[in-house]
Structure 1
């Protein structure tokens, strides 16, 4: 399992519109092969700052399967204009601490 983590900064005053748009496009990502779950968290200290966490079965399910799909183009069309600066996407894997 891979965890995609994205810190998002939404343009000032667009937070309500962004959350509405994100709700609407959540069905896009949740329909993709390898998708496990996702959540969007709103920062308490910084207005307009969000954390998106998405669990994927494999890295390629995100980087190839989703990012190179027509569904991603729709995701991008509906969400990317909200971000400034454009977010950096990072991927993490579980560390076994036992």
Structure 2
């Protein structure tokens, strides 16, 4: 597992405050790997998901450390989202 993916797992679990989500989300970190989030929390991995977020490592790092709003990342084209936009909006609120 890359350091970027490990940091993403830690950051997501902190934002989720030890919980999970109602559904499955996949964070594809370009050139580094993927993180999957479900009712058990975040972990390194890949698979089918209700919503998929795609961005580079810098974008995800900024989202997870709170310096970039996920909605801003999407609206500016730094992040793409495929799938359940309702779940994406719920996650954006959690990550903001």
TM normalised by structure 1 equals 0.34
Greater relative contact order (Cα < 8 A, sep 6+): 1
